[in-house]
Amino acid sequence: MRKIMMASAAMAMALAATTASAEIKLGVIMGFTGPIESLTPGMAAGAEQAMKEVTDSGMLLDGETVTPVRGDSTCVDAAAATAAAERLITSDGVAAIVGADCSGVTTAIANNVAVPNGVVMVSPSATSPALTTIDDNGYFFRVAPSDARQGQVLATIVKERGVKSVAISYTNNDYGKGLADAFGGSFTGMGGKVEITAAHEDGKADYSAEVAALAAAGADALVVFGYVDQGGKGIIQTSLDTGAYDMFFMADGMVGQTLIDAIGSGLTGSVATLPGSDSPGAAKFLEISAAAGNDGDGPFRGESYDAAALIMLAIQAAGTPDRAAIQAKLMDVANAPGERIYPGELGKALKILASGGEVDYVGASNVELTDVGEASGSYKELEVMGGKFETKSIR
């Protein structure tokens, strides 16, 4: 009887160990609170949709499941973001991280936690030019292009629309400053004039003083590099309320339906840029998202799916969720050579990799990573029409 009990206990322990090893945890660090909190649920849903697709396929390694573990980056609080990442990496034992989202907290997490612990980060939305040269030992990747390019694209659009002079208001962090510098340099290089460049702080109740200074510059239009749920919205609302400006140009951090809902018809005719394309992969992502009960048509949702997909394909290519092995294989699955893989084809990709083949992950955002692990990418030119952001062109 004692031998039977010991054998049963051993079997139970073995089964528990097998069950434990069959789960791979991936961190999802995004600003679930803070200045882009209205955008992050859709982004997280995109990443977690890819994880469910892989789990449901049963093709990852020996049928492992992928479990998302969320952490709140807050988008702006570097200490809080670092603490959230520390928990995911040390306590939860995630194999890699989808995120972070905003550039400043992404830099803090990479420098303070992820890189020192050898954990891959794939950001869907951190766009500061400074991240191109971060000392990351090859552990930081991003599928959104740098704002060095976004600034050039938006400057071209502004000039094409006949605007000769602008005032720039930017959120006072790495993201805002990087965009202001990139746009300002490009716009003046095209013969435009920047009358004033001024930072704004998020979380204020009153932006009258900031808008008064912007209005005194007497520019043709106001360019706002801020956040959809915070200071950027306040700058635009106050500009409309005071009559300071009625023509606005914006970048990706301002793109969200909540902005239009809050401000109303005063935004009609405003223009923004957002990473994205009208590629077959983008269309396929919308299709599979709808089938999964998600709305894939929103900022950085396809990129979030792609970030998670790249990590899981790297795990399969490596044959292990070992953190260093993921880093070693991620560029291989992101770029040619190999069979091109689109959204909804993750099971197919896993099967190819399991048989020793190669894949070239295209995904929703036309993934092609540079030698430093970031996307060059394309941009949508959006215009507010009929109470929505409508795509006018792809740049």
Per-residue pLDDT of the chain (395 residues; tens, 9 = 90+): 333 333 333 334 333 333 344 899 999 999 999 999 999 999 999 999 999 999 999 999 989 999 999 999 999 999 999 999 999 999 999 999 999 999 999 999 999 999 999 999 999 999 999 999 999 999 999 999 999 999 999 999 999 999 999 999 999 999 999 999 999 999 999 999 999 999 999 999 999 999 999 999 999 999 999 999 999 999 999 999 999 999 999 999 999 999 999 999 999 999 999 999 999 999 999 999 999 999 999 999 999 999 999 999 999 999 999 999 999 999 999 999 999 999 999 999 999 999 999 999 999 999 999 999 999 889 999 999 999 999 999 99
147-276+378-394: CATH, from 3.40.50.2300, 3.30.70.260, 3.40.50.620, 3.40.190.10: 3.40.50.2300
- Where does CATH 3.40.50.2300 sit in the chain? 2-145+279-361, 147-276+378-394
Per DSSP, 358 falls in state: -
Smallest CA-to-CA distance from 372 within 337, 334, 323 is with 334
Q: What pLDDT sits at residue 381?
A: 98
**So what's the architecture of 2-145+279-361 in CATH?**
3-Layer(aba) Sandwich (3.40)
Cα(74)–Cα(84) distance, integer angstroms: 10
pLDDT at position 11, please? 37
Q: In what order do the strands lie in the sheet with 271-275?
A: 193-200, 165-171, 221-225, 248-250, 271-275, 379-385, 388-394
pLDDT of 376: 83
Euclidean distance between CA atoms 158 and 328, whole angstroms = 41
3-state DSSP assignment of residue 320: coil
pLDDT at 1: 36
How far is the CA of 297 from the CAs of 27, 265, 333, 345, in angstroms? 23, 22, 25, 19
Task: Output the CA angle 248-251-257, nearest 5 degrees.
Answer: 80
The pLDDT value recorded for residue 20 is: 40
Overall residue count recorded for the chain in this entry:
395
